[in-house]
Amino acid sequence: MNEFHDKRAAIPSSGNLQLRIDHLTAELAKTRNALWNEVDKHRKAKRTVQELEEMHYRLLEAIDCGILISDQNGNILKINRCLEKITGYSAEELVVKGFIQLSPNSAHRRELNRIFTSLDMVQDWQVPLKRKNDTICTVLLNINRTELKGQKVLITRVQEVTAKKHSEKKLKESRH
């Protein structure tokens, strides 16, 4: 109330209507300029957010390992193309099937479920996965629990090591 009263007091009180109109026009111009400055700041911030989202999307797609982002209940929120290539499933198919179901045995499925629902971090956990074409591959899982946009999520890095394991086995056999 005092602020309003102070602003009204700044308006010339003389009977000169033109002075009052000029004063109010100047105040309106200041307000308009301040508003446009705020709008410009908002546009720049929005553009920055869009650029960051684009950069994160490109990074997610360019990285050479599978990325799975899931909520704390194990629901898949996002996967990248590399994970689609590793598993043979499209993103849509994986959302329906669920990552845990890719484990070829029930013991690993139980352990994956325990990890996804209770642990904050797992490093280099080696697990077999059953691809869509029914072949088995070996992957290393690195899992971190974090928060995105106020939601607790798991970010899982899936690195296929089948060829590496095969090479190590061949090397070991050749030494014996």
What region, left, alpha or beta, does residue 146 occupy, with left being phi > 0 and alpha being psi -120 to 50 degrees? Answer: beta
pTM of the complete model: 0.65
Q: Are strands 121-130 and 136-148 parallel, antiparallel or unpaired?
A: antiparallel
Task: Please state, in angstroms and rounded to a whole number, the distance separating the CA atoms of residues 47 and 80.
Answer: 24
Q: Which residues pair with 140 in a beta bridge?
A: 126, 159
pLDDT at position 40, please?
A: 92
Mean pLDDT in each 10-residue stretch from start to end of the chain (176 residues)?
Answer: 51 72 91 92 90 81 87 87 95 93 89 83 90 94 90 92 67 67
